[in-house]
Amino acid sequence: MAKCQYCRKKFQLPMECKSCNKKLCISCYSPEIHKCCNYDIIIRKEREKLNEKLLNQKCISNKIEKI
């Protein structure tokens, strides 16, 4: 059994934060909860990813020519 590095509870299922590599319990796994040191970087990357996805799905309509 391991201890959560944020709340110090013992837990069986080890979860590791992908940005700060801390071992956390399931209730503290979210970056907002355990106050991840790389939280700003995570948010910026997510915004860039979503922005890119939106731009790739953008519809460009053709103008209709008058007859």
- Residue 33: inside a domain: yes
Owning domain of residue 51: 2-56
- Residue 10: inside a domain: yes
- DSSP secondary structure of the chain: -EE-TTT--EESS-EE-TTT--EE-GGG-STTTTT-TTHHHHHHHHHHHHHHHHHHT---PPPPPP-
Number of domains in the chain: 1
Please say if the pLDDT value at position 49 is more than 90.
Answer: yes
- Residue 43: inside a domain: yes
Please say if the pLDDT value at position 48 is more than 90.
Answer: yes
Q: Write the pLDDT tens digit of every residue in 12-42.
A: 888 888 888 889 998 888 888 888 888 888 8
pTM: 0.57
